[in-house]
Structures are given as structure tokens and as C-alpha cells.
Structure 1
Amino acid sequence: MSRIKHLVAVAGLALAAALPTHAADRGEPYALVRDGERGTSMTGDSADWSSVKRLRKQISGDFLWFRDGGKQYVVQDPTVLARARAAWEPVDKLGKEMDVYGREMDKHGKVMDALGKDMERAGAGMKPDESKIRSIERRMNDVGGKMGDVGSRMAGADEAGQARLNREMADLNRQMADLNRQMAAATQSDSQRAAQHSMDDIGRRMNDAGKPMDALGKQMDALGKRMDAESRSADKTVRALIREALDKGLARPAPQA
């Protein structure tokens, strides 16, 4: 499947007074479409994506698609396309780095899910005040599952989302620590103390498993900021190329359905 990157639109782009108002100046949608399975860099909404998918079937090779004044255009000039690809190359490279971090975060998230299940099984040995114990177990399992889910969602989150998910993870760690204390207070017998020992061990493992997730989250946050800066730069370059293509007559109306 083609990979869509929703870019941050550049506002307040300075223009010479003599230039006409083009799509690039109004922040209208565009897409840099690579042939085959090499991906698509795009702004716009689902309706625009539908147009691009249709054009991919009609146009051979790479092309730059954009809207201007309600009309759709495509550019296949080799020089324009080469400059547009070069503009997005740093973002593509950073995207691959983010994919690596995402896979690593997903791996840790699965470990956290497994530990949550271990915690649930360990809690089965707790006997006194079973209704209370079961309540704590459910909450522990729920928190453990949420920690795993947060780790998995970090892979595809933007900068703001990663910061929010890091805060969620810190809060979940505090909740798990409090639940461990509650469980300790609710257990008394030898079997209960043995079960508590097992749960404490799992709790420590959960805490240890959460540390690399926290570190990865910070790395992903820093990388996300770099991607944002590079995306803004690439977006500015492509919009300037759109103006140039229109001015030089290199853009042609997009084929109709």
C-alpha cells in the first residue's frame, strides 16, 4: 500500500507582489506520487486521496498532482520531479528511522501485555477477601494492558501524541505501584505472601520493561520534531515548485475519470 504522509501546511508564505495567487500560496492540496509501491507524500483529505488513486491508474510514472482554483493539475517534468523528490528525501529517511523505533516499541508493548497476563495468573493464588483481591487483579491487568496499548500506539503517534502518551505511561506506572501496595496490604497467609512475592517480581519486571519504552518514547519525540522541521522545509520547496510549474507552463490539467 502507498504510504500517505499528512504534511503540515505552511502558513504565511512570502510572495513577490507580481506573482499570481496559485495553489501553493493558498495551501491547497498536492501529492508527490512515486510509481509502483514507493509511496506518496500528500496533503489534503480523503476526497483528494481518491483523486490521486484514480490518477495513479491513468498516469504512467511519477507525477506531481495539485489543485489550483478548483482545478486539478499534474506535472511530470523530470527536473521538477527530481527537485521535489530531493526535498522529501530527508523526511523519508527520518520516517524509516521512526519505523525502526516503532517496531521496537511494539515489541516492548507485547512484553508488557504478557507481563499483565502473568500478573493476572499470579493473583489467582490470593485467597483472603477474594472480592477485593479480584478487584485489584482486574485493575492490575487493566493497567498492564493499557501500558502495552500505550507502547503500541507510540509507534504511529505524532509529536504531540507521543508527549501525551509519555504522560499516560508515567501515570500508569504510578497506578501500578499503588495497586502493588494495595495488594500487599490485602494478603496475609503463606500462600498469599508467596503469590504477593510473585506479583512483586512481575511488578518489578513491568517497571523494568517500561524503562526502555520511556526512553524510546523520548527518542521518538525528538525524531518527530526533526521530521516536523524537515517536512515544513520540504513542503515549502514543493509549493515553490508548483508556482514555478504553473508559471512556466509545465503543469497540465489532470486526466478526467
Structure 2
Amino acid sequence: MITASGLTAALGWALLHFLWQGLLVGLAAGLVLALLGNARPQLRYAVACAALALCLLLPAATTLRGATMADAPSRVATPADGEVSFAAGVVEGLRQPLIDTTREWRGQLQPWLPGIVALWSLGTGLFSLRMALGLAWVARAARPGHGRTHAYWQAQLDALSERMALPRRVLLRVVDDLDGPVAARIWRPVVIVPAALIARLPADLLEALLAHELAHVRRHDYLVNLVQSAVEALLFYHPVVWWLSRRIRIEREQIADDIAAQALGEPRRLAIALNELAQFRAPDPHLAPAAQGGLLMSRIQRLVRPRRQSLSWKLALPILGLSAACMTAFAQGHVAGIVAKDEEPARISVRAGQDTHYAVVGDKGDDSIKFTGHYDQLEDITRLRRELGDNFIWFRRDGRDYVIRDPALVRQARQAWQPTEPVGNRMGALGDQMEVHGEKMEAIGARMERQTAGSEPISTEMEKLGEQMGALGERMEPLTRAMLRTDDDAERDRLHAEIDSVSAQMETLGRRMETLGAQLEAVHAPMDALGKEMELAGKPMEDLGAQMEALGKQMEVLSDAANRETLSLIDQALRDGKAERIERL
């Protein structure tokens, strides 16, 4: 029978052992995540979630094993007479000092186990209270009586939900005490939007943020976030748990960005919306996935100008041995899977839908590729282009990859996208101009920062002088009262002399403050000119932003029409047998 003391000891040892167990999990997860730097965020998200789940399972298994062993009777194995060999004696001689050392430090830590468990219980209780307060906030914000509805945006949200193939209706609540949109609840999902955001943000940008929140709803991120918060509460004392949790949130936001960008058809619009959202800096309620979560500026850069990270070959050395050991079994299973797949009858659906990704490849360089899908696939398309040449359509449907090399179909697809090219070129030119002005503003900001840094020593000294003058003023007041009350001429003279001394010190400090004030004014004088320069540099950005917004709306209309035409051509190629099946990229 497991006793309370035995369970407490087992739990205490599990908490201590998790210190090194969690470190090993963190090192392994960090290595794998570094190796997957070029992979899709879904894979990095899965690795981080698996590592966090392992962090929860390890102390649970250690506790169960410790409690079971504490309840089982001790048994010491002794060899039969004549069975002890020389080698066994050598091993026992090396093993015994380690056993003795382990017993020694276990004996020293044993009395501390109840206290360790008590402190852990206190910390877990506090973090559980934090989690409960977050749940209460979400429940109150999502309650119909707390927020208000918005007919127009509810209709827009319903249309987005249908476009993103959500299985159930998502409600919209507008509240005042919130700084950014969040998605909440599991069975009856709701998107909570601040009233200030509806009033200040353009409609197309708010629609982009709503698409991001619907991506969280579609992936059930609220439920995963609840489990994640529970693990944080239980293992709050280990930094690896918080690091893994942060990586999960970063990858989760990137996945939601990708889903929203694909649904909208223009990642730049979502990037602009996130940039506007950056003004809302107050923290989110932690339990509800929010659009401003993750590393916001890096997400914006990833949407506008995605870059593939470089990977050092040295990071692969620790797992090459494991890869070599698994290669034979993997190859056998992979070949068997390919054979089985080839023997299956092909079932091709001829329909235009959200699950079709494609690339229209022309003959004028990389810029002529019209691509829908994930950014990581673009490199595969480029490699396929080197193999097949120019002028083809690649697409993926029902998990299968195809190419269309019929000249007439490829020409029609390119003609469908041709009206978007001049608009895209103008948007690229505007983007270059905005980057130039942004660099100018950044340079002015750096000058302003350097100018401000020069005033910090002066301000610090003035602050210290102010404290000294305050202290002297506090001395002056009792001296003055004492001089007025005394009738002794000698005492009055002494107090008067002391007051004169304090006044002289205050006068000296005052002159020093005047000097420092003049220096501070001289340092800050260029700030006015820099402020005006910054204002002038920012004005072109407003005009360029307005032009970019207008072109973005024009591009959306043209891209929708071209996308419909291309999907129709793909359906036609499947019906006419002009789509060639290829190995999945």
C-alpha cells in the first residue's frame, strides 16, 4: 500500500530528477529545432509540443516508479557459491563507490523532500490561480451580456469562416477593455475584438486580423494553449519548460499567419495589419491565442520578405549516427510504401477548391512564377523548373503532385495572370521607395537616440543635485522654527550661522543646476530640428502607404479572377488527361 510519506518522497525525487531530465529534453529539442530551421513551422511546432509533453511525462513516470518501488519489499540478489568470477569482482569494485556516493547525497536530501514538495505545491497553486483568472477573463469577455454584437463584421466573419472551411459558426463579440483580437472557447468558439480596433483600422486590415484568429479556431489552438498553460503551472520551476512554451507560441503564430495569408491571397495585407496592431501594446489574456502574439516584427518581415535560414553542417553531426542506424529499416519501409502506393487505383477529384496549390512557371526568370501555397515549396518548384525547363503548371491536389505541359493551357494560365504583373511591379517599386524612406527615418531615429544619450549624464547629475537640495531644504525648516522660538541670543546666533551655511550650500547647488540646465538645453536644441526632419521624412511614407493600399485592393480583384481561371484550367487538364502525375515534391 502506498503511504502519504512514500508518495511525498517519490514526488520530491521526481521534481529533483526533472532538473537534469528537463535539461536533456531541452538540449535535444534545441538541436532538432536548429536542424529544422528551414522546415515548415508545422514541423517545428510538432517537435516543440512533443518535447513539452515529454517534460510532463518524465516526472509523472518517475513519481509512479518511485512510489511503486517504495511500496515493494527490498530484495538483494546474491550469487550462488562458486559463481563469482574475477570480472564480476572487478565490476563490483568499480560500482560500489558510485553506489555509496549516491546513497550519501540521497540521504542528505531526503529530509528536505517534504519542504521541496510544499514549495512546489505553493508555486503550482499560484500559477493555477493565474490560469483560473485568465479563464475567468475569457469567460467574462465571451459572455453575451458583456460584449456587444456587430452585424456587419459578424457577416464578414461568417464569410471568412466559410472560405476557410471551418466546421462550425464562430461568433463575434466587441468589447472595450481589450487591446487586440483574440480567439476563445472550444465548443462554441468566439472571436473577441476591441471596439477601438474596429473604429481605427481599415476594413481590409481588420479582415486580415480576423482571418488570423479564425486560423487559431480552425487548429483548436485555444485547447492546446490550455494544456500548455497547465504544464507551465505544474513545471513552473524549470526554464526549459518556459522556453519550449515560448517556442510553441512563436511557431503557432507563424502557422496561423500562413493559413490566414493563404486564405486572403495576399500576405502583404496581413503584414500591414500586424504592423498597425503593433500600436496595441498591452498584454493579451495569455490563455487566448491573439494576433499580436509571438515575435510581431519578425512575423511581419517573414510575411513581406520571407528568407530561408542558413544551416551549419556541424549541427547535423550529433544525429548522423542515429540516422545511419535507422537508414536500412527506413529504406525498406519507404520502398514498400511506394510499391503499395503505386498499386493503389488513383482517385482524382476534379474540383476547384481551397486544397489546390499550384505554380504557373513562365520563361522570364523567377519573377514569372505565379505561386499559391507555402513559401517552403517555392524552392522545390525552382528545382523542378531546372529539371523540366520553362512553361509548365505544377499543382497539388488530394496529396498528389501533377504537371501540365500543354502549351495552350500554360499560355492561357499565363495570360490570366498577366494583368497582375504591372500592378505587382508598381507595388514592388513602392515597396522599394518605402524601404528607402524607412532607412532615412531609422537613421534620424539613431541620431536622436545618440543625442538623447548625451543628456543622460547631465540629467543624472541634476537629479542627484535635486535630491541634495531637497535634503538641505528639510534641514532649513526646523532650523528656522527653532530660531523663532528661542530667547537665547547665543543660541539664536548659532542657529542663524547654521542657516547661513545651509543657504550657501543651496546657493552653490543652485548655480551648478543652472549650469547643467544650460548644458541640457544645448544638448536638446538639435532635437527640435531632428523632430522636424523626422516629420518631413515620414510624410512620403503616408502617401506611399495610401498608394500601396489602393494597389493592394486592385491586386486582390485581379488575383481572384486569375486564380479562378487557373483552377478552371487545372480541372480541364484533369478531365482531358493532360495532367501528368509526378513524384511528390
Structure 1 segments, 4+ long, off by >6 Å, are: none
From 94, 119, 122, the counterpart of 2:451: 122
CA distance in 1, matches of 2:396, 2:584: 14
Which one-letter code corresponds to 2:365 in the other structure? E
1:247 and 2:575 aligned: yes
Query: Unpaired runs of 5+ in structure 1?
Result: 1-5, 11-19, 134-186
One-letter amino acid matched to 1:199? M
- Structure-2 change in CA distance of 1:90 and 1:131 (3 Å): farther
Helix, strand or coil at the partner of 1:72: strand
Counterpart check, 1:192 vs 2:520: yes
- 8 Å Cα contact 2:401-2:584 kept in structure 1: no
The answer to whether the 8 A contact 1:35-1:61 is kept is yes
Cα deviation for residue 48 of structure 1 reads 4.1
Residues 216 and 26 of structure 1: CA distance in aligned 2, closer, same or farther (over 3 Å): closer
Cα root mean square deviation, aligned: 2.9
Encode CA deviations 1:56-105: one digit per residue, 9 max, x unaligned: 12212210011233322111111111111111112222111111111111
Counterpart amino acid of residue 529 in structure 2 = D
Residues 25-64 of structure 1 correspond to what in structure 2 (within 5 A)? Answer: 25=353, 27-35=355-363, 37-39=365-367, 40-45=369-374, 48-49=377-378, 51-64=380-393
> How much has 1:131 moved relative to structure 2?
7.4
Q: Name which of 98, 109, 113 aligns with 2:438.
A: 109
Choose the corresponding residue for 2:421, options 70, 86, 92: 92
User: Is the partner of 2:549 in helix, strand or coil?
Assistant: helix
Q: Structure 1 counterpart of 2:549, which letter?
A: D
Give the Cα separation in 2 of the matches to 1:132 and 1:247: 82
Alpha-carbon distance in 2 for matches of 1:52, 1:218? 34
Contact 2:462 2:516 in 1 (8 A): no
- The structure-2 alpha-carbon separation of the partners of 1:46 and 1:122, relative to structure 1 and needing over 3 Å to count, comes to closer
Contact 1:22 1:68 in 2 (8 A): no
Deviation at 1:249, TM superposition (A): 2.1
Identity of aligned residues (%): 35
More displaced stretch, 44-53 vs 54-63: 44-53
**Matches of 1:42 and 1:114 in 2, distance apart?**
36
| Matched residue type, 2:531 | G
Shift of the 253–105 alpha-carbon distance from structure 1 to 2, 3 Å rule, reads: same
SS in 2 for 1:27: coil
Give the whole-Å Cα distance in 1 for the aligned partners of 2:420 and 2:392.
Answer: 18
Distance 1:81 1:195, change over 3 A: same
In 1: Cα distance, 2:417 partner to 2:557 partner: 12
1:238 matched to 2:558? The reply is no
TM-score of the aligned structures, taking structure 2 as reference length:
0.30
1:189 aligns to what SS in structure 2? helix
TM-score of the superposed pair, with normalisation by structure 1: 0.64
Specify every segment of 5 or more residues in structure 2 that has no aligned partner in the other structure, as ranges.
1-260, 266-347, 464-514
1:76 counterpart = 2:405: yes
Q: Which has the higher contact order (CA 8 A, sep 6+)?
A: 1
Tell me if the contact between 2:359 and 2:370 (Cα under 8 Å) persists in the aligned partners.
yes
Amino acid in the other structure paired with 1:130: T
Report the number of matched residues: 190
Summarize the Cα distance change of 1:54–1:233 in structure 2 as closer, same or farther, 3 Å threshold: same
**Aligned residue type for 2:547:** Q
AA at the equivalent of 2:448: M
SS at 1:42 equivalent: strand
Aligned letter for 1:63?
Answer: F
1:205 aligns with 2:510: no
* Residues 97-150 of structure 1: per-residue CA shift (max 9 Å, x gap): 1111111111111111111122133335536423799xxxxxxxxxxxxxxxxx
